[in-house]
Structure 1
Amino acid sequence: MSSPSRTAAFPPCPEDPCTMLDRIESPVREHAAGSLDPLFSPAAIAVLGASADPLKIGGRPIKFLKAHGYAGTILPVNPRGGEVQGLPALRSVGELPWGVDHAVVALPASAVLDAAQACADRGVKAMTVFSAGFAEVGPEGAAMQARLSALARESGMRIIGPNCMGVMNFRVGLIASFAFMVDLGLPRLGRTALVSQSGAFGGQALVMARRRGLPLGAWVTTGNECDVEMADCLAHFARDDETDVIMGYMEGCRSPDRLVHALALARERGKRVVMVKAGSSDVGRAAAQSHTGALAGNDRVFDSLFRQYGVHRADSIESFFDAAYAAGSGKRIVDGRVGVFTVSGGVGVLMADVAEQEGLDMAPLPQPAQDELRAMLPLAAVRNPVDGTAQIWSDMELFRRFLRTMLREGRYEAVVFFLTAMPYSPPLQQPLAEIFADLRREFPEPAMVLSMLAPQALQDQLADQGYLLIEDASRAIRALSALRALSRPSPGPADLASLPRVPRFPALEAANEHAAKEILARVGIPVLPERAVADLDAACAAASELDYPVALKVLSQDIVHKSEAGGVALDIADEAALREAWAAMRARVAQAAPRARIEGMLVAPMAPPGVEMILGVQRDPVFGPVVMVGMGGIYAELLDDVSLRIAPVDPEGAMNMVRELKAFPLLDGARGRPRADLDALVRAIVRLSVFAHQHADRIESIDINPFRVFEAGRGAAALDAVLLTREPEDGGRA
């Protein structure tokens, strides 16, 4: 077997028609459109299609604005004039004062374009369009929506919708919505904003937030997104000093640059983002695209993006609300050290099981603390979970001392108290309120969750003191796990200064493996010093030059999977074996792929042993080139152990990708194996990502499989490669 010293990369040649790039454009770019402040904090709001009937779509916003304390000017617009719900009505948009901040449009779709133009002519800064009948109904509606989008671009007037349920800013009493759910009551006022692409989900979420005690400061549904997109709202709340937590319900993404910028801004400003992303299945993606008109993209790419920017992705509506609720506490869980107090041993066991599944640390109390608790209550289980048993309810002073000792000595980052339904007992309610008020004052740092059934007045009192109230004990543990995930630092955008220079090719074609490797080698990805040959004599000469043993592979742009077509022969020891392998391979390939165009054969030295990986690039319909690393060779599809990132990737990001793999221990020297050359693997990932980013308009996919990583310090090499190109799109993102 040949030594690693035989691996080499083709250096950039002076005659190569390529340009070395000194500057990589950042994918984190701010969208230049105007502020959303007029939407969320208007000094005056007009309602077009205003109705005197507070039950109609044009009447509800006026009713809600008046009922919830909006202090700005409300300007009903109705062609009949007169009075609307006690307010003087204007007959047309032309009668509006110049430069009104926000106009709500509750008109038939056929009247929206004229109304929007009139608003733009009158200097209106922002519009919310309730009206349906646009892109969601067919080509004619899509054409009207395109004209609405153009008007927004040309005038600078921001438009949310059409086909949306509106905007709410509870801090200023702005209820620019027709959602009847408002009549059911609003959530507690808080520092969490909710953004939804779905109006139906947004309406349900409003009710759920109130019922679950989740405080909200703002709420918005984006509908068809003719102008203002979900990403724009995320960025708005990332800048908002009165918002700490951002909840997002996403089905698809129209503008990846806006989304990346919004998440980067939220990360930079320390905002906690909790997201539900629908469309993880093929059926779900198709449904999401049909619903929103936005591309759903590869779900794994969204996962990767969310990890990169510290977004917590919830896997259910229930966990979505629990995670946001916990995030709103402002507490941090870094090490995952959690204590559990219960009056039921069985539930304590269940909570311990969930904590282990979530990777939380149920560290036992120190032995002196255990001894102290056991002296107070001999029948208690005092390790962690701590079970006070039902006996503890008989002495509330003992209850106080017991919990105080656990909190003082356990030094937990978070504690869950499972109290069953006992707080419904009238004699216990006042003592419980006093005890937990005292504990919160004495121990302000840890996150504290009360898992209990209790009267609403007691729940409200304890919530005001900073306790999280989650009835289900398992959900309480999972909420703390989500809080831990949100407390961890995230990598953020690539460090552009650390990225290498790579050549940019004015023409990019790779008809076969050898051509693909030549391009990759010039980018700086190591390959073996192989030879492409047209006949057997040339193959023998190449093998003598490279030194036996060698590998022989068919070259054909029509044969991607050479092994399956019989187009690979390994460990060819001498010339006689090479001649025999040549003849046998020609016969196998002719039988397996009779119509394939054979361009020649590839002769290469046998590579040293190592760990076989796969490196790749795939063009995502939303985010463009996405880089992949995973276990390669025959295990690539079988194990499905891969990590993805949107290109480009810096060295730290590439190492994080490698560490995310379940098979990382194989690279890191598990069970006495030699440690692989991780530096060489990281360099290859980075260079591949920069190359893909710079040629995003022309690369469809790159598949380097296997990419063999040798022992530490001995490098790596691409043993096979396929590069598929595409025609650039004029004026569009590749």
Structure 2
Amino acid sequence: MAAAHGRRHPPFGSPRNPVDLTAALVSDPDMLRRALDVALEHPGTDMIGVLLGNADGDIDELTDAIAKAHGSTDQPLVVVWTGGNGRARQRLRELGVPCYSDPGRAAAALGHLADFSLRPPLPTGARPTGTDPRAARAIIEEARAQGRSRLDEYESARLIAAYGLHSAPACTARDPEEALRAAADLEGPLAVKLLSADIAHKSDMGGVRLGLTTPDGVRDAARDILAAAAREGVGDARLLVQRMAGGDRTELILGIQRDAAFGPVVVAGFGGVLVEVLDDSQVAVAPVDHAGAVRMLRSLRAARVLDGVRGAPARDVDAVADALVRLSWLATDLADDLLELDVNPLLCGAAGDGAVAVDCLALLSAPSEQDAR
């Protein structure tokens, strides 16, 4: 708080920020009202914290003064009331005044509020072109009709494709012979993966084979993966044959989560198999615009990688930002259905080469949770 200068004050008090009203407040509780009036009038006041302790004898007068000040300004005002019987804290909360018993928590709350006020406003621009909420909902409704709350990788890729995100070309197969026919259509180095709505981490059980270039390699990989799935008791085991993305690319992770306080949020970070080790990500409330998506990417600790390091070319940040914007609208439109979605990895090429998703998994909200909404 701030106080007027030029007035006499005891040497053990302070009229400057922070204002110390001294123990004289006990004999003259109205001092708090007067001090708050001065603080509210002072042009340098941005927020106010009132610290009181063991002042239960003047609860009514002090809380009335605080409530009056709180109601007369739009500036943040919090109270720390330590000690006592707790009645003052309860009364202030009933009056709508934030009240704490711990100064550290009060300072943290004001700090977070100040940080939030400095953030750019949420986007107001239109959704990107090429989004199809109806097609996305149809994929989810089909899974719900089968009693599932998880989409498999192929369904998840179709879900993000409905919002214009590019995935590596892929075909499904039920057995090694179908996998061979799919491989003939796709060409190039291939990946063969276990396809199951019940298995989130396929590589942990030997469910991923990469860099396959011959029919025998595809057949053997398909046979081995299905055998491994049978040993693990995977009831819906199928195969996904996917063309591998070529070239020098950086692995990122993009995702959707549902936050208890903020609703749907989007996540961006450096990903791949080391996503949990790197722990380098940014989160924003959905939807985000292109500028907001770029800010998220540039805020990553390892953002310099996107500009090219050790002779590598700069990455296509605009393509990743576009994918993030599209995911944010997917999160917004399907907020009641989508609990979580991960695109990991999203492979980002050099500037102009775009970005391509090579793995995606979506988790749906439980039917009871959806009904509650």
Shift of 1:581: 1.5
Q: Compute the TM-score of the two structures, normalised by the length of structure 2.
A: 0.70
Structure 2 residue corresponding to 1:545, chosen from 170, 175, 185: 185
CA distance in 2 between partners of 1:589 and 1:684 (Å): 32
Secondary structure at 1:190 match in 2: helix
Give the structure with higher Rg (CA): 1
**Structure 2 unaligned residues grouped into runs of 5+:** 1-24, 56-64, 81-92, 94-102, 144-149
Counterparts of 1:23-34 in structure 2, within 5 Å, are none
Q: 2: CA distance between counterparts of 1:322 and 1:620?
A: 21
- Cα deviations across residues 274-313 of structure 1 (Å, max 9, x unaligned)? xxxxxxxxxxxxxxxxxx9xxxxxxxxxxxxxxxxxxxxx
Decide whether the 8 Å contact of 1:500 with 1:687 is kept in 2: no
Q: Which amino acid aligns with 2:160?
A: L
Task: Identify if the C-alpha distance between structure 1 residues 246 and 535 changes in structure 2 by more than 3 Å, giving closer, same or farther.
Answer: same
The answer (yes or no) to whether the contact 2:265–2:285 under 8 Å persists in 1 is yes
**In the alignment, which residue of structure 2 is the partner of 1:662?**
301
1:494 aligns with 2:123: yes
Please give the residue correspondences for 1:678-693 in structure 2 after superposition, counting only pairs within 5 Å. 678-693=317-332
Q: Deviations over 1:588-637 (max 9, x none)?
A: 3333xx22223410001111231111111111122211110111111211
Match of 1:183 among 29, 37, 46: 29
Number of the residue aligned with 2:195: 555
SS in 1 for 2:162: helix
Q: How does 1:323-472 map to 2 (within 5 A)?
A: none
Q: Which has the higher contact order (CA 8 A, sep 6+)?
A: 2
The structural deviation recorded for 1:204 is: 3.7
SS in 2 for 1:672: coil
Q: Is the 8 A contact 1:632 1:706 kept in 2?
A: yes
Q: How many residues align?
A: 299
Q: In the TM superposition, what whole-angstrom CA distance separates every residue of 1:666-714 from its partner, at most 9, and x where no partner exists?
A: 1121332211111110011000000110111111110111111111101
Shift of 1:587: 2.9
Confirm or deny: 8 A CA contact 2:130 2:164 kept in the other structure. Answer: no
Distance 1:184 1:529, change over 3 A: same
Q: CA deviation at 1:584?
A: 2.2
Q: 1:205 to 1:500 in 2, by over 3 A?
A: farther
1:600 aligns with 2:233: no
8 Å CA contact 1:698, 1:728 repeated in 2: no
2:153 aligned partner: 513
1:533 corresponds in structure 2 to 173
For 1:718, the equivalent position in structure 2 comes to 357
Asked if 2 retains the 8 angstrom alpha-carbon contact of 1:559 and 1:565, the reply is no
Three-state SS of the structure 2 residue aligned to 1:684 is helix
Measured at CA, do residues 637 and 321 of structure 1 come closer, stay the same or move farther in structure 2, by a change above 3 Å?
A: closer
CA change 1:323–1:574 in 2 (3 A) is closer
Distance in 1, matches of 2:201 and 2:79, equals 41
Displacement of 1:495 after TM fit? Answer: 2.6
**Aligned with 1:492: secondary structure?**
coil
- Judge conservation of contact 2:123–2:289 (CA < 8 Å) in 1: yes
Q: 272, 276, 293: which is aligned to 1:633?
A: 272
Partners of 2:27 and 2:310 in 1: CA distance: 59
Amino acid at match of 1:616: G
What does 1:137-156 align with in structure 2 at a 5 Å threshold?
none
- Normalised by the size of structure 1, how large is the TM-score? 0.37
Task: Give 1:503 deviation, angstroms.
Answer: 1.8
Give the conservation status (yes or no) of the 8 Å contact 2:229–2:237.
Answer: no
Separation of aligned partners in 2, 1:249 and 1:552:
61
Query: Structure 1, unaligned stretches of length 5 or more?
Result: 1-178, 197-201, 208-217, 222-232, 251-291, 293-314, 328-481
Aligned to 1:673: 312
Distance 1:689 1:595, change over 3 A: same
> How far 1:490 sits from its partner (Å)?
3.4
Equivalent AA in structure 1 for residue 360 of structure 2:
A
Are residues 535 and 625 of structure 1, via their aligned partners in 2, closer, same or farther at CA, if it must alter by over 3 Å?
same
Partners of 2:111 and 2:151 in 1: how far apart?
Answer: 50
Question: Does the Cα contact within 8 Å between 1:195 and 1:220 map onto a contact in 2?
Answer: no
Q: 1:318 to 1:599 in 2, by over 3 A?
A: closer
Does the C-alpha gap of structure 1 residues 728 and 183 become closer, same or farther in structure 2, counting only changes over 3 Å? same
Is the 1:194–1:219 contact (alpha carbons within 8 Å) kept by the matching residues of 2? no
Paired residue secondary structure (1:627) = strand
Does the CA-based 8 Å contact 1:676-1:711 persist in structure 2? yes
